[in-house]
Amino acid sequence: MALIVQKFGGTSVATTERILAAARRAILETRAGNQVVMVVSAMGKQTDSLISLAKELTERPNAREMDMLLSTGEQVTIALMAIALEKLGHEAVSFTGAQIGIKTDKTYNKARIRSISTDRMVKALDAGKIVIAAGFQGVDDDFNITTLGRGGSDTTAVALAAALKAERCDIYTDVDGVYTTDPRIVPDARRLNRISYDEMLELASMGAGVMHSRSIEFAKKFGVLVHVRSSFTENPGTVIGPEPESRSASACGAALATDETRLTVYGVPDQPGVAMRLFSKLAEAKIPIDMIAQNSSRDGRTDVSFTVQSDDAAKARDVMMATVEEIGAERLEFDDKVAKVSLVGLGMTQQTGVAQRMFHALFEHGVNIHMIATSDIKISALISREDGVKALRAVHDAFKLNEEPAATASDESTTGSSATKQVDSFLEGVSPRLLSHITSAEMEEMEEVVVEAVDLDEDQARVTLYNLPDRPGLAADVFDKIAEGRIIVDMIVQSVGRENLANITFTIPRAELEAVKSVSTSICDAYGCCAEFDGRVVKLTVRGSGLRSHTGLASRMFRTLSESNVNVSVISLSERCAGVLVDEAHGKTSQQKLVEEFSANRI
Ligand code: ASP
Ligand code: MG
C-alpha cells in the first residue's frame, strides 16, 4: 500500500464546497488502495485577514503572538476537512502541527523544521483513517507555536512526504502546473510536463514559483516527487523530480523579479577577509543576498554590487552604511528601480552560446544590462525595472520556450502517448529507489542547508575587460566575438561600472587563453577598453541547496577562505551554487578547508 500526501492551498479550500471537493479527491485516492495524508492551508485569504486584524492594533505585532494567531487559520480548515470526510463516510482525524510533532527552531514567523515524529500519523493511517495535518505550523522546544513563513504549507507537505516516505506529494492549487514563465505576463507561456529539482529551485527562488522555495529544497534533499496540479480539473500537472523535461533544450524557464534593489559598494580594498566582513554583516541581519557581482580589482580596489529583495533594502542600506566605513571602502550606491530577468535550464551546462543568445535577445529589444551573474544553470541580467516585461518576453521568445522541446534519445524512456502516461511512468520509475536511502539520522535537522560537494576546477583562466561603454548590445557584441572564436565561456560577471562604463569578467578553459587574447584585442580596439588576463585562477564551487536562503552560508564560505588568507577575486551565488575564483596556489588547500567547514552539512 502506497502513501500519498495531498496538499490543498488556500483557494482549493476557500469554501465548504471546495473542502468537500478536496475530501472527495482524498477518498478517491484511498479507493485506489492508498493511504492519504492531507495537508491544508487556511481558507481563502484567511491568513491575510488575520494579519490585517493584528495590524489594526499595531504596526509591529509581537512575533510569538502573530504565530499564535496565524496558526488558527489552518486549524479551522483541518477540522472542517475532517468533518467533511466523515460526512462522506470516511474516517478521518485532524492534527495541528504540534500534535504531529513538527518540531521547529525558535524563529517565529520564519521557523525552520528540525524534525517530525511520524508515530501518531502512522497509527491513525493504519487504523484506516485519512490524516489531515495543518500546514505552515510547528512547535518549538518550549511548546510555543511557530509558523514557517508565508506559503509554508507546501513545505509542511513535502516534509511530511519525506518523513513518511510517501510515494508522491500532490500539490493541489489554483494553477495547473509550473509554467515556462508567468502566463500573466507572457500569454504563450507553456506548462511543463516536468522539471528537475535544480531548475525548480532556481525558478522558485525568483518568485516564479507556484511553490514555496524551501519545499523544493526538501524535495530534492529527500527525493520526494512533487506533482503540482489544479484542484479544479483532472489534468496532469507538472512533476518536479530529478530529471529535466528535456535533455536537449538549453532552457526550461525564464523569470522576472521586479522586487529587487541594487547596492554597490565602490572602492572596496581587495584584501582577504573584506568580502567576508561585508557579507557577514548582511548574514547577521538575516538578509538574503541575491545576485552578487564582484569583478576583478584594479589598483588594489574593487567594486562589489549585489541585490536584495526590496523588502530588505532599507535594512540592507543601514547595515552597509556602517560597514562601508569600517572596511575603508569609498561609498555606497543604491538603486531601487531595477529588475532581474533570468534564464534557467540544466541543458545550458552542456551547450555553448546560451548566454550570448540571451544577451542578443535583450539587445534586439533595446534593453540595457546593468549587471550579469551566472551560475551553472542560470543566467541573470539586472536591468531597469521599466524594461522588465519587455525583457522577459524577449528572452522567452528567443529560446522558444512556448514550444514543447523535441524528445531526444535519452528522453525516450519517459515519453508516453498521453500526458498522464508520461507522469505515471515517470513516477513509477523513480520514487522507490530515491526514497529508500533516507536514514533516520538524516531526518534530524531536516531543514539545514545541504552541501553536496565542494568542487575545484583548475582548468580556468580569467579575462576581464575594463571600461566598456555601458549601453544596450554591449554584452551581446562581446560574447558574439568570443563565440566566433568557438571559445566556451563558463562564469560571466558584469559589474556596475563608474561613469557609464562597465567591466565584464568571464572565465574560459585555460587552453583557450591565447585564442581569447587575440579576440580581446579586437574588442578593445573597437571599444577603446583594456583587457586583463589571468591564467592562474581556479574556481571553487560549493554545491547544494538552500545556499542563498540560508543567509549565513556565503559568509561562512568567505570566512573560511579569509582565515587561510586566500583572496577571492570573482564571486557568483545562486540558490544551488556559490562560486569564487582564487589563485591556483590556494586551490587544493582552500577546497580542503571548505570541505571541512561544511562536513556537517553533507547529506
Ligand atoms: N496560510 C499560509 C499563508 O497564506 C500558509 C500557506 O497557505 O501555505 O501563507
Ligand atoms: Mg500557498
Report the pLDDT value the prediction gives residue 446, as an integer from 0 to 100.
Answer: 62
Give the dihedral sign, CA 126/127/129/134: negative
At 53, the pLDDT band (50, 70, 90 cuts) reads: very high
Half-sphere exposure of 1 (CA within 13 A, CB side): 13
**Residue 429 reports pLDDT greater than 70:** no
pLDDT tens-place string over residues 496-535: 777 788 889 999 999 999 999 999 999 999 998 999 999 9
Give the residues across from 3 on adjacent strands. 35
CA of 169 to the centre of ligand 2 (A): 15
CA of 268 to the centre of ligand 1 (A): 41
pLDDT tens-place string over residues 579-592: 899 999 999 999 99
pTM of the model: 0.83
Burial 157-186 (b: 16+ CB within 10 A, else e): bbbbbbbbbbbbbbbbbebbbbbbbbeeeb
Q: Rounded to whole angstroms, how far apart are CA atoms 372 and 375?
A: 10
Best probe residue, ligand 1, of 41, 77, 231 (max atoms within 8 Å of C-beta): 41
Strand 577-583 vs strand 537-545: parallel, antiparallel, or unpaired? antiparallel
At 255, the pLDDT band (50, 70, 90 cuts) reads: very high
Mean pLDDT of 93-119: 93
Give the residues across from 343 on adjacent strands. 254, 379
Query: Which long-range CB contacts under 8 A does 393-396 form with residues at least 24 apart?
Result: 393/185, 393/186, 393/365, 394/361, 394/362, 394/364, 394/365, 394/367, 395/254, 395/341, 395/343, 395/358, 395/361, 395/362, 396/180, 396/181, 396/186, 396/188, 396/189, 396/254
pLDDT tens-place string over residues 58-92: 999 999 999 999 999 999 999 999 999 999 999 99
Q: Rounded to whole angstroms, how far apart are CA atoms 419 and 149?
A: 34
Using a pLDDT cut of 90, give the percent of the chain over it: 59
- Which residue is closest in CA terms to ligand 1's atom 5? 151
Q: Rounded to whole angstroms, how far apart are CA atoms 206 and 201?
A: 9
Atom of ligand 1 nearest to the CA of 48: 4
Mean pLDDT of 152-174: 95
Best probe residue, ligand 1, of 12, 13, 70 (max atoms within 8 Å of C-beta): 70
Atom of ligand 1 nearest to the CA of 73: 1
Sheet containing 113-116: order of strands: 113-116, 102-104, 137-139, 145-147
Give the three cell numbers for residue 531.
583587457
CB of 153 within 6 A of ligand 1: the answer is yes
More confident residue, 431 or 238: 238
**Residue 409 reports pLDDT greater than 90:** no
Report the pLDDT value the prediction gives residue 434, as an integer from 0 to 100.
Answer: 35
pLDDT tens-place string over residues 16-48: 999 999 999 999 999 999 999 999 999 999 999
- Which residue is closest in CA terms to ligand 1's atom 9? 150
CB of 73 within 6 A of ligand 1: the answer is yes
Report the pLDDT value the prediction gives residue 295, as an integer from 0 to 100.
Answer: 64
**Residue 366 reports pLDDT greater than 70:** yes
Report the pLDDT value the prediction gives residue 398, as an integer from 0 to 100.
Answer: 97
Using a pLDDT cut of 70, give the percent of the chain over it: 91
Only one residue has cell 567594486, namely: 303
From 389, 341, 403, 367, select the one nearest 186 (Cα to Cα).
389
**Residue 206 reports pLDDT greater than 80:** no
Atom of ligand 1 nearest to the CA of 150: 9
Report the pLDDT value the prediction gives residue 430, as an integer from 0 to 100.
Answer: 36
Give the three cell numbers for residue 303.
567594486
At 104, the pLDDT band (50, 70, 90 cuts) reads: very high
Do 461 and 508 meet the contact criterion of CB atoms below 8 Å apart? yes
Report the pLDDT value the prediction gives residue 407, as an integer from 0 to 100.
Answer: 67
**Residue 453 reports pLDDT greater than 70:** yes
CA of 154 to the centre of ligand 1 (A): 8
Near ion ligand 2, which residues have CB within 5 Å? 9, 151
Choose the weakest-confidence range: 255-264, 275-284, 394-403: 275-284
Q: Is 58 exposed, middle or buried (0-12, 13-18, 19+ CB in 10 A)?
A: exposed
Mean pLDDT of 148-156: 94
CA of 568 to the centre of ligand 2 (A): 39
- Which residue is closest in CA terms to ligand 1's atom 4? 47
**Residue 413 reports pLDDT greater than 70:** no
φ, ψ dihedrals at 308, nearest 5°: -130, 165
Any alpha helices (H) in 399-452, and if so which ranges? 419-435, 440-443
User: In a 3-state reduction of DSSP, which class is residue 191?
Assistant: strand
**Residue 204 reports pLDDT greater than 80:** no
**Residue 576 reports pLDDT greater than 90:** no
CB of 43 within 6 A of ligand 1: the answer is no
More confident residue, 428 or 287: 287
Report the pLDDT value the prediction gives residue 420, as an integer from 0 to 100.
Answer: 38
Q: Rounded to whole angstroms, how far apart are CA atoms 49 and 72?
A: 12
Beta strands in 28-129 (DSSP E): 35-40, 92-95, 102-104, 113-116
Strand 371-375 vs strand 301-309: parallel, antiparallel, or unpaired? unpaired
**Residue 402 reports pLDDT greater than 70:** yes
Q: How far apart are the first and last CA of the chain?
A: 28
The answer for residues whose C-beta is within 8 angstroms of residue 337's C-beta and 6 or more apart is 384, 385, 386
Report the pLDDT value the prediction gives residue 448, as an integer from 0 to 100.
Answer: 65
At 393, the pLDDT band (50, 70, 90 cuts) reads: very high
Hey, how many other C-beta atoms are within 10 angstroms of the C-beta on 285?
Answer: 14
CB of 44 within 6 A of ligand 1: the answer is no
Average pLDDT over the chain, rounded to whole?
87
Could you say which ligand is closest to the alpha carbon of residue 153? 1
φ, ψ dihedrals at 51, nearest 5°: -60, -45
Atom of ligand 1 nearest to the CA of 42: 1
Angle at 306 between CA 301 and CA 310, to 5 degrees: 145
Report the pLDDT value the prediction gives residue 423, as an integer from 0 to 100.
Answer: 40
Could you say which ligand is closest to the alpha carbon of residue 210? 2
Give the three cell numbers for residue 283.
548574514
Do 573 and 371 meet the contact criterion of CB atoms below 8 Å apart? no
Report the pLDDT value the prediction gives residue 209, as an integer from 0 to 100.
Answer: 59
CB of 41 within 6 A of ligand 1: the answer is yes
Give the dihedral sign, CA 335/338/344/350: negative
Angle at 283 between CA 275 and CA 101, to 5 degrees: 150
CA of 341 to the centre of ligand 2 (A): 24
Could you say which ligand is closest to the alpha carbon of residue 172? 2
